[in-house]
Amino acid sequence: MNYSLTEEQQMIVDTCRELAREKIKPVREKYDEEGIFPWDIVKEMAAADLMGLFIPEQYGGLGGGILELCLAVEELSKVCGGISLAMASTALGTFPILLFGNDEQKAKYLPDIAAGKKLAAFGLTEANAGSDAGNMLTTAARDGDHYVLNGTKQWITNGGEAEIYTVIAMTNKVKGTRGATAFIVEKGTKGFEFGKKENKMGIRASATRELVFTNCRVPAKNILSKEGMGFIVAVNTLNSSRPGVAAQALGIAAGALDAAVHYSRQRVQFGQPISSIQAVQHMLANMATEVEAARALIYVAARTIDGGAKSFAKISAMCKLFASEVAMRVTTEAVQVFGGYGYMKEYPVEKMMRDAKITQIYEGTNQIQRNEIALQLIKEAAKAKK
């Protein structure tokens, strides 16, 4: 399909495709089995100038946007959705600084992220505050020119590996969602430690840990925007980052489709390749159609955001919802095409199916995405009536 990519964007796709095939594919099974964080691959990404795709040139990045990030994540995820998260989750942790950081904060943190010297992470979720983020218990109390953080964040991607964390904490519980504040917290800050590393079903090459704050003193100058703006920071961050999750889901689905097509041409049953059996052809056709539809929606969403649209919550939620649902269906069908072999770990589609599931859950469950889409539709209808 022709998606009118620029020469530079096509170069990003080609670079990521080559890196994925030559560097990631040989190690993906080992990293998945052992749960190893891919620092060697991160170094390769940094050497290829991929970690700063979405960061402005003045801070050492390539000056791209959401689309460039999505193109890279999609290609890397075709081979391994877990390893691609080192980049995608760093983007999630960086967006709050890009969107709400002041000049001093951007100058301090963005160059090292763009160079791949430091990874970032986003600390919002807690044990009792997932979709209900307003129920968070992590607090930040003012003490002179510092804030003292106490609490625990859970299921934080890149946790323990990242150096730079954007953390949402309650500075005034009485105000509810208007009482949250966003902070930049650096690894190594006294009182900031890491809890257990989660043993996950999928994306096992990605580190997922607790962030534990015990009387952790963070300079007041590390506030993003201002006190009480934490949920505004979080919502805008997630609206900007969801196409990246969608791109991860798309990549996983596209990789599973490629594997299924290749296998169907090699596997002989009843004296012929199973690709000549109409039932299999229809499965492949449906898988391919859904993958292409997801890609089109993601690219439109990314271009909408990059184009400076004031409102993009609906299309951002739509692309994340649709692509992740496609990823689950396509990977499940790919396992079916492989038959018994698809259930075995020596073939990649079993891993792809496990990796796909999380895309329906994190950065807002798909039920929450449907809520958001419906809310925006209702708002648009009410506005149009006026």
2 has pLDDT over 80: no
Provide the CATH number for the domain formed by 121-230 in this structure.
2.40.110.10
pLDDT given at position 176 = 85
Q: Tell whether the torsion through CA atoms of 309, 311, 315 and 316 is positive or negative.
A: positive
Taking phi over 0 as left and psi of -120 to 50 as alpha, with beta for the rest, 176 belongs to left
DSSP 258: H
CA-wise closest residue to 189 among 229, 156, 157, 148? 148
pLDDT given at position 359 = 98
Query: Whole-angstrom Cα distance, residue 185 to residue 183?
Result: 6
pLDDT given at position 177 = 86
User: C-alpha 327: how far from its chain's center?
Assistant: 14
pLDDT band at 132 (very low <50, low <70, confident <90, very high): confident
1 has pLDDT over 90: no
Pick the CATH number of 232-385 from 1.10.1660.10, 3.90.180.10, 3.40.50.1360, 1.20.140.10: 1.20.140.10
363 is catalytic: yes
* pLDDT tens sequence across 168-209: 999 998 998 899 999 999 999 999 999 989 999 999 999 999
Q: What is the mean pLDDT of residues 7-36?
A: 97
Catalytic residue among 210, 290, 333, 363: 363
pTM (predicted TM-score): 0.96
Look over the chain and give the mean of its residue pLDDT values, rounded to a whole number: 96
Domain range 7-119, CATH architecture: Orthogonal Bundle (1.10)
Q: Where are the domains of the chain?
A: 7-119, 121-230, 232-385
pLDDT given at position 133 = 78
pLDDT band at 384 (very low <50, low <70, confident <90, very high): confident
pLDDT given at position 123 = 97
pLDDT given at position 252 = 98
342 has pLDDT over 80: yes
Query: Whole-angstrom Cα distance, residue 57 to residue 60?
Result: 5
